[in-house]
A = this chain, B = another copy of it.
């Protein structure tokens, strides 16, 4: 019995191929990818990958990914629950970050925080904001807005007709727009990456 198939090697090769070409490989391209000399070897390997849930059978049999290949991360429970045992990992949820954080990709932008006016809302300099444009903020939303021409990120507060932009830092005062207020977008998520 020969050594077992290198499943992860093949999954990675498929991911890299897709990143580069924007589509899954054909069987003959997969031959080259996997270092095979024969279509039938590819068939055998792909059947195994399908069984493991990385690929799916589509119309006319062409190679098609499941979302186990297209970039999801395992979503565990709380920190205090720790990590699952290897047996438990089988049933773990998968999470696609973009799908999870973004509702309308065409209306969504990422901006970097460069001040500390929202520090008490646990948003600091360098943090990335996922901002959705084209929606009307509700009370308590965090927004990116231009106040009298200056862009800022603040809590949005509305009282009747009156609008205030409220920082989450005692060092700053709430702002009541004088001449103009343009809501750039609503902050839907914050991301902080550590290290390089």
Contacts and interface: CB of A to CB of B under 8 A. Distances in A.
Interface of A: 8, 21-24, 26, 29, 55-56, 58-60, 62-67, 69-83, 95-102, 105-106, 108-115, 119, 122-124, 127, 129-130, 133, 141-142, 144, 146, 150-153, 184-185, 187-195
**Most chain B CB within a 10 A radius of its CB, from A58, A66, A110:** A110
A114 B78 contact: yes
Dominant SS among interface residues on chain A: mixed
Contacts of A29: 59
B110 A95 contact: yes
Contacts of A142: 194
A101 B75 CA distance: 14
Max count, chain B CB within 10 A of own CB: residue among A67, A83, A100, A108: A83
A149 B74 CA distance: 22
A193 B188 contact: yes
A168 to B, nearest CB: 11
Nearest to A11: B106
| Integer count of this chain's copies in the complex | 2
A23 B63 contact: yes
A15 to B, nearest CB: 8
B98 A83 contact: no
A101 B97 contact: yes
10 contacts: A21-B64, A73-B109, A78-B114, A79-B111, A79-B144, A80-B151, A80-B152, A95-B110, A122-B124, A122-B192
Which among A77, A80, A127, A141 has the greatest number of chain B C-beta atoms within 10 A?
A80
A22 B188 contact: no
